[in-house]
C-alpha cells in the first residue's frame, strides 16, 4: 500500500488535503517543528484535525522534528504522548535520542525520520531503523537505483518527497546551520520552551539564505558572477512508476508554507496519478504532466514570495545583531 501524505500548514490546509485525497496529513507543533509559527498548529487545532481525520479513516502525522535540549526532553515526550492518546498514529522526528525514547515509551507509535536526520546512504537507514524508525525519508537527490538498494538492504518503510533538485546537489537538507549566523534572538514561552528565531533545528524558520545571491571570494580571487548556494527543488511526476516499483511506500507532498488551494490541487493531482499507476501496468501520465506544469508555475511564484520574505527577515536580523554588537563595544 502506498500512502500519500500531504501538508497541513494551517488547520484549513490539513482538512483540505484530506478531502482532496491524501491518506494522511502532517502538521507541525508550534515551537517543536522546523517552521515558523505561521506554518504550525496550536494544540486545539491539532486535536480538531485528528478527530476530523479519524472520522474519515485517515491519519495525522505530528511534526516534532526540532533538536530538544536535555531540559526540554520531558516536555517533548509529554506532548508526543498527548497527541498519541488523541489518535495521532505517527511522528516526524529528527533527534535520534528522542526517536529511541519514543520507540521505547510509545511502541505503538509510528516514527517517520525527518529530513533533518540528513541520510546519505543505506547504512544511515539501517541505523535509524534499529532505533525504531517505521519510515525513513530520503533526501530528494537520491536516484531510483540508490532507493532500490536501500530498500533491499533494510526492512523499513521508504518515504520520498515529491520534489527534487534538477542537478542533484550535495547540500543535505536538515544539517544546514546558515540561518543561525544571521540571528541571535531567542525567548522562553510560558512552558519554559526555548524558541530561536532563525534556527529551524530549534523551532524557528529556516531563513533560506542559501537562496539569495552570493559573491564567492577566496584569499586568491573574487568571482564576479553571483551564485546561489543551493538550487530550488522542482515537482516531479514521470519518475513515480519507477519509484513505486523500487519499493517506496510513502509519498510526501511538500508545501506547509504554500497556499491551501495550491496544496490541495497538488494532492488531488498526485492522488489521481498514483491511483492510475497502481491500477495498470503502463499508465499514461501525459495528462497529469500538463496539469502539473501549471501547478509548477504557481509553486514557483509562491516560492519566490516566500524566499524573499525569509531572506528579508535574515537581513533584518543580521542588522539588529550588528547594532547590538556595536552597542556592546561602545
pLDDT digits (tens, 9 = 90+) for 109-143: 999 999 888 887 889 999 999 999 999 998 776 78
Residue 211 scores a pLDDT above 80: no
Residue 141 lies in a domain: yes
Residue 151 scores a pLDDT above 60: yes
Residue 19 lies in a domain: yes
Residue 224 lies in a domain: no
Nearest one of 233, 265, 239 to 251, comparing CA atoms: 239
pLDDT at 318: 56
Main-chain phi, psi angles of 293, to 5 degrees: -60, -40
List the CATH number of the domain containing 40.
3.20.20.380
Residue 106 lies in a domain: yes
Nearest one of 282, 287, 272 to 245, comparing CA atoms: 282
| Higher-scoring residue by pLDDT: 117, 220 | 117
Pairing of strands 163-164, 157-161: unpaired
Pairing of strands 90-93, 157-161: unpaired
Residue 105 lies in a domain: yes
pLDDT at 120: 79
Residue 201 scores a pLDDT above 90: no
Q: What does the pLDDT look like over 225-267, one tens digit per residue?
A: 666 666 666 888 998 999 999 999 999 999 998 999 999 999 9
Q: What does the pLDDT look like over 164-182, one tens digit per residue?
A: 765 544 455 556 666 666 6
Percent of all residues in the chain with a pLDDT value above 70, rounded to a whole number: 72
Residue 323 lies in a domain: yes
- Structural domain boundaries, residue 264: 3-172+233-329
Task: Measure Cα distances from 190 to 72, 74, 80, 193 in Å.
Answer: 13, 15, 18, 7
Least confident of 48-57, 163-172, 202-211: 163-172
Could you give the 3-state DSSP secondary structure of residue 78?
Answer: helix
How far apart (Å, rounded) are the C-alpha atoms in residues 293 and 65? 31
Q: How far apart are the first and last CA of the chain?
A: 64
Domain tally for the chain? Answer: 1
Residue 211 lies in a domain: no
- In which band, very low, low, confident or very high, does the pLDDT at 329 lie, cut at 50, 70 and 90? very low
pLDDT at 20: 98
Q: What is the DSSP letter of 29?
A: B
Percent of all residues in the chain with a pLDDT value above 90, rounded to a whole number: 52
Q: At what angle do helices 43-54 and 11-19 cross, to 10 degrees?
A: 10
What long-range pairs does 87-90 form, CB within 8 A, spacing at least 24? 87/50, 87/51, 87/53, 87/54, 87/60, 88/46, 88/50, 88/59, 88/60, 88/61, 88/62, 89/24, 89/59, 89/60, 89/61, 90/24, 90/59, 90/60, 90/61, 90/62, 90/134, 90/135
pLDDT at 322: 47
Count the neighbouring beta carbons within 10 Å of the beta carbon of residue 284.
Answer: 9
Q: What does the pLDDT look like over 290-328, one tens digit per residue?
A: 999 999 999 988 887 766 566 566 566 555 554 444 443
pLDDT at 221: 66
Residue 128 lies in a domain: yes
Mean pLDDT of the chain: 83
pLDDT at 194: 67
Main-chain phi, psi angles of 46, to 5 degrees: -60, -45
| Higher-scoring residue by pLDDT: 147, 163 | 147
**Cβ(91)–Cβ(109) below 8 Å:** yes
Q: Residue 90: which H helix or E strand, with range?
A: strand 90-93
| Higher-scoring residue by pLDDT: 36, 108 | 108
pLDDT at 168: 47
Main-chain phi, psi angles of 310, to 5 degrees: -70, -40
Amino acid at each position: 500500500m502506498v500512502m500519500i501524505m500531504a501538508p497541513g500548514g494551517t488547520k484549513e490546509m490539513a482538512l483540505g488535503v484530506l478531502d482532496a485525497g491524501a491518506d494522511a496529513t502532517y502538521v507541525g507543533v508550534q515551537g517543536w517543528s522546523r517552521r515558523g509559527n505561521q506554518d504550525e498548529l496550536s494544540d486545539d487545532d491539532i486535536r480538531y484535525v485528528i478527530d476530523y481525520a479519524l472520522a474519515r479513516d485517515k491519519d495525522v502525522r505530528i511534526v516534532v522534528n526540532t533538536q530538544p535540549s536535555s531540559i526540554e526532553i520531558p516536555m517533548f515526550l509529554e506532548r508526543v504522548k498527548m497527541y498519541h492518546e488523541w489518535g495521532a498514529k505517527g511522528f516526524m522526528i529528527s533527534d535520534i535520542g528522542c526517536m529511541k525514547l519514543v520507540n521505547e515509551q510509545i511502541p505503538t507509535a509510528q516514527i517517520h525520520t525527518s529530513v533533518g536526520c540528513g541520510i546519505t546512504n543505506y547504512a544511515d537507514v539501517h541505523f535509524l531503523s534499529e532505533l525504531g524508525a517505521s519510515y525513513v525519508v530520503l533526501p530528494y537527490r537520491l536516484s531510483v537505483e540508490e532507493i532500490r538498494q536501500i530498500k533491499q538492504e533494510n526492512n523499513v518503510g521508504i518515504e520520498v518527497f515529491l520534489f527534487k533538485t534538477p542537478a542533484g546537489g550535495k547540500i543535505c537538507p536538515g544539517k544546514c546551520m546558515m540561518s543561525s549566523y544571521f540571528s541571535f534572538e531567542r525567548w522562553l514561552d510560558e512552558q519554559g520552551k526555548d524558541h530561536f528565531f532563525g534556527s529551524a533545528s530549534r523551532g524557528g524558520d529556516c531563513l533560506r539564505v542559501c537562496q539569495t545571491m552570493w559573491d564567492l571570494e577566496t584569499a586568491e580571487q573574487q568571482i564576479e558572477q553571483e551564485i546561489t548556494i543551493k538550487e530550488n527543488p522542482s515537482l516531479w511526476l514521470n519518475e513515480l512508476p519507477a519509484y513505486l516499483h523500487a519499493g517506496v511506500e510513502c509519498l510526501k507532498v511538500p508545501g506547509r508554507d504554500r497556499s491551501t488551494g495550491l496544496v490541495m490541487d497538488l494532492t488531488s493531482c498526485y492522488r489521481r496519478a498514483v491511483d492510475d499507476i497502481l491500477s495498470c501496468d503502463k499508465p499514461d501520465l501525459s495528462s497529469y504532466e500538463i496539469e502539473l506544469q501549471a501547478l509548477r508555475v504557481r509553486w514557483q511564484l509562491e516560492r519566490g514570495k516566500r524566499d524573499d520574505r525569509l531572506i528579508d527577515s535574515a537581513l533584518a536580523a543580521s542588522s539588529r545583531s550588528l547594532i547590538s554588537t556595536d552597542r556592546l563595544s561602545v
